[in-house]
Structure 1
Amino acid sequence: MLITVSRSGGFTGVDTTRKIDTSGRRDAAEWEGLARRALRPVADGFHYRITIDGQAVDIDEAGLTGDQRALIRAVLDQRA
């Protein structure tokens, strides 16, 4: 199994990508189990896209910051 994790953003804006190939590893079963569990969607979890003046961010409910949660609540509470 090939597992790839990419990270972007942060203060320095440095993008990082790392890969793990579990083939032939003694701990392959542990890596593969962790990877399969990580791909499961959050039960009944929401996914949000916040767009401000053309700049967008996608976030799963579990990863929301307090400010993101407050903005989402305030906007969704507005009447259309």
Structure 2
Amino acid sequence: MLITVTRSGGFTGVDKVRKIDTSARRDAAEWEGLARRVLPSVADGFQYRITVDDQVLDLAESGLTGDQRDLIRAVLGEEA
């Protein structure tokens, strides 16, 4: 399993990207279990990307706030 985490923003605006390849690790089961637990549990749920000017937000349907849901519905032209 290849796990990648990207951190962006902050004061300096420097992205930090780290990758962990679990295939040759003794603790692979722990890494893979942790990675699976953080993924959305709704396999057939929608994923959204909201872009406002140069800011991008990737979201799973299961974690939307009320305002995010309202914006998505308004932009997509769907009933509330």
Given that 2:40 and 2:62 are in contact with CA atoms closer than 8 Å, whether structure 1 keeps it comes out as no
1:16-45, Cα deviation, whole Å (9 max, x unpaired): 2123343243x2211123335556773231
For 1:48, the equivalent position in structure 2 comes to 48
Identity of aligned residues (%): 72
Q: Which residue of 2 aligns with 1:7?
A: 7
Question: Structure 2 vs 1, CA of residues 17 and 30 (structure 1 numbering), >3 Å: closer, same or farther?
Answer: same
4+ runs deviating over 6 angstroms = none
Q: Indicate the structure (1 or 2) with the bigger Cα radius of gyration.
A: 1
Count, aligned residues: 75
2-structure distance, mates of 1:66, 1:72: 10
Corresponding residue number in structure 2 for 1:30:
30
5+ residue gaps, structure 2: none
Question: What is the RMSD computed on CA atoms of the aligned residues?
Answer: 3.3
1:3-26 deviations in whole A, cap 9, x for unaligned?
2211224x534422123343243x
